[in-house]
């Protein structure tokens, strides 16, 4: 049976949803083992990893140095020498970890994948590229495959017969690491689920006129994150962490709602692979309607309050 290692992502000590998505995918490829970099996890987190199919949770006790991709890649390599497949959430940092590990182990690597399967004993991945205008299937010919999976591209489902995951401590020699973390200072980040991982994103553009009240309210009732176009962030209406697009964050939520956004190619490049796209725009010829699954021609000041009210009604009923 193929051993599939999954790098665990945590936020405030808790395993993130995209990790469970990766574990769900790992079950379809072989026997998942979770790899935890840092202090040993609490029992509830080990149990949750077991629930999603991890047979083992391998812990490499590495401190703040785990933030350095070179160190994380070395630690991961030590914990996964028996794994034919390695999955990780396709974050900015993990892409560097994936490529470093691939270089060190001779593995084949694909990042930003939307899925993976075993075909004749080899891993094949699915991706959208060039601003989601092409679908690509890649076959990894190397004996070892490392795959970065985009959040929200696999539905996280608990295992049918989950067992208790065994905690295994792994020793790793990290003396070769050439950098040391001197100071760690958290910078302020938007509250809630990060944009790249959110299952629902509601974005506002120049059409908001700078007032994000309705966009935030809609995101709130849908349990989503708030995004923005670059024009809106350049205007200073909302901080740059919210920018979606070529120079902003690439998002692949199940639902993307574009409010007062024209749909310029630079914006589309970061959201076109979303599951369902809804657009609200006063201009019926706005390019965003070319890629929208549902389009509403109207002023967002009229449309969003009605949508918010209907969603609240349905939730209440």
Ligand X SMILES: Cc1cc2nc3c(=O)[nH]c(=O)nc-3n(C[C@H](O)[C@H](O)[C@H](O)COP(=O)(O)OP(=O)(O)OC[C@H]3O[C@@H](n4cnc5c(N)ncnc54)[C@H](O)[C@@H]3O)c2cc1C
Binding site for ligand X (CB under 6 A): 205-207, 229-232, 243-248, 260-262, 264, 266-267, 270, 280-283, 286, 299-301
| Strands 115-119, 122-129: pairing kind | antiparallel
CB of 40 to ligand X, least distance (A): 40
Mapping DSSP to helix (H, G, I), strand (E, B) and coil, where does residue 243 land? strand
Nearer to ligand X, 104 or 265 (CB): 265
Nearer to ligand X, 71 or 304 (CB): 304
Element (H, E) at 49: helix 43-51
CB of 235 to ligand X, least distance (A): 9
CB of 213 to ligand X, least distance (A): 13
What residue ranges in 20-64 does DSSP mark as E strands?
A: 31-37, 56-60
CB of 275 to ligand X, least distance (A): 19
Q: How far is CA 132 from CA 104, 147, 204, 269, in A?
A: 31, 19, 21, 7
- Neighbour-count burial for 223-260, b at 16+ CB within 10 Å, e otherwise: ebbbbbbbbbbeeebbeebbbbbeebbbbbbebbbbbb
CB of 294 to ligand X, least distance (A): 15
The residue written with tokens 């020699």 in the block is 173
Computed on alpha carbons and rounded to an integer, the radius of gyration of the chain in Å comes to 21
Nearer to ligand X, 74 or 261 (CB): 261
Nearer to ligand X, 18 or 227 (CB): 227
Phi, psi of 48 (to 5 degrees): -65, -40
Nearer to ligand X, 122 or 266 (CB): 266
CB of 43 to ligand X, least distance (A): 42
Residue in 83, 70, 110, 84 with CA at minimum distance from that of residue 170: 83
Nearer to ligand X, 90 or 229 (CB): 229
CB of 69 to ligand X, least distance (A): 24
CB of 264 to ligand X, least distance (A): 4
d(CA 253, CA 110): 20
Which residues make Cβ contacts (< 8 Å) with residue 168, sequence separation at least 6?
56, 57, 58, 59
d(CA 47, CA 255): 30
Torsion angle of C-alpha atoms 234, 133, 157, 317, degrees rounded to 10: 60
Q: How far is CA 312 from CA 159, 201, 253, 317, in A?
A: 33, 17, 21, 9
Which residues make Cβ contacts (< 8 Å) with residue 93, sequence separation at least 6?
67, 69, 72
CB of 228 to ligand X, least distance (A): 7
Nearer to ligand X, 71 or 232 (CB): 232
Nearer to ligand X, 137 or 240 (CB): 240
Nearer to ligand X, 77 or 263 (CB): 263
């Amino acid at each position: 049976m193929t051993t599939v290692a999954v790098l665990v992502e945590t936020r405030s000590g808790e395993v993130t949803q995209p990790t469970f998505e990766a574990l769900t995918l790992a079950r379809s490829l072989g026997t998942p083992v979770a790899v935890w970099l840092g202090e040993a996890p609490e029992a509830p987190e080990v149990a949750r990893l077991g629930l999603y199919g991890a047979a083992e949770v391998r812990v490499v006790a590495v401190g703040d140095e785990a933030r350095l991709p070179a160190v994380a890649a070395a630690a991961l390599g030590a914990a996964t020498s028996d794994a034919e497949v390695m999955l990780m959430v396709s974050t900015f940092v993990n892409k560097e970890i994936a490529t470093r590990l691939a270089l060190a182990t001779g593995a084949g690597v694909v990042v930003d994948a939307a899925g993976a399967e075993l075909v004749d004993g080899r891993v094949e991945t699915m991706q959208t590229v060039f601003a989601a205008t092409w679908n690509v299937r890649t076959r990894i010919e190397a004996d070892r495959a490392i795959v970065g999976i985009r959040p929200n591209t696999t539905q996280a489902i608990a295992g049918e017969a989950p067992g208790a995951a065994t905690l295994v401590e792994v020793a790793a020699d990290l003396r070769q690491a050439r950098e040391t973390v001197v100071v760690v200072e958290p910078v302020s980040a938007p509250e809630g689920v990060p944009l790249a991982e959110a299952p629902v994103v509601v974005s506002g553009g120049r059409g908001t006129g700078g007032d994000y009240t309705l966009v935030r309210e809609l995101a709130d009732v849908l349990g989503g994150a708030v995004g923005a176009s670059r024009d809106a962030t350049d205007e200073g209406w909302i901080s740059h962490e919210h920018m979606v697009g070529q120079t902003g964050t690439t998002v692949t939520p199940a639902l993307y709602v574009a409010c007062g956004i024209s749909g310029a190619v630079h914006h589309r490049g970061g959201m076109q692979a979303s599951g369902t796209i809804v657009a609200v725009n006063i201009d019926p010829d706005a390019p965003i309607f070319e890629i929208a699954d549902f389009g509403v021609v109207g002023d967002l000041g009229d449309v969003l309050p009605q949508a918010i009210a209907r969603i609240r009604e349905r939730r209440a009923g």
